Amino acid sequence: MEERRSQSHEVLRKGPWKLEEDEVLLNHVNRFGPRDWSSIRSKGLLQRTGKSCRLRWVNKLRPNLKK
């Protein structure tokens, strides 16, 4: 597990996503829709950047993804 500290000294998680993180992200998108990605971290739901959350949704989790 790799982590790094941002300028505000928050610990951000990097590396592979855990199943629990995917579930949190899916619940957030189901509730609020696929937007406002940075709010996921500001609400304390995940220690990932908004960009990381958006990319995970677009490339792995969205329902209409062609595999």
Task: Give Cβ neighbours of residue 7 (< 8 Å, ≥ 6 apart).
Answer: none
pLDDT at 62: 93
pTM: 0.81
Q: Looking at the domain assignment, is residue 34 inside a domain?
A: yes
CATH number at residue 48: 1.10.10.60
User: Are 47 and 8 contacting, i.e. CB atoms less than 8 angstroms apart?
Assistant: no
Ranges of the chain with pLDDT below 70: 1-10
Q: Looking at the domain assignment, is residue 10 inside a domain?
A: no
Q: How many domains does the chain have?
A: 1
- Mean residue pLDDT of the chain comes to 87
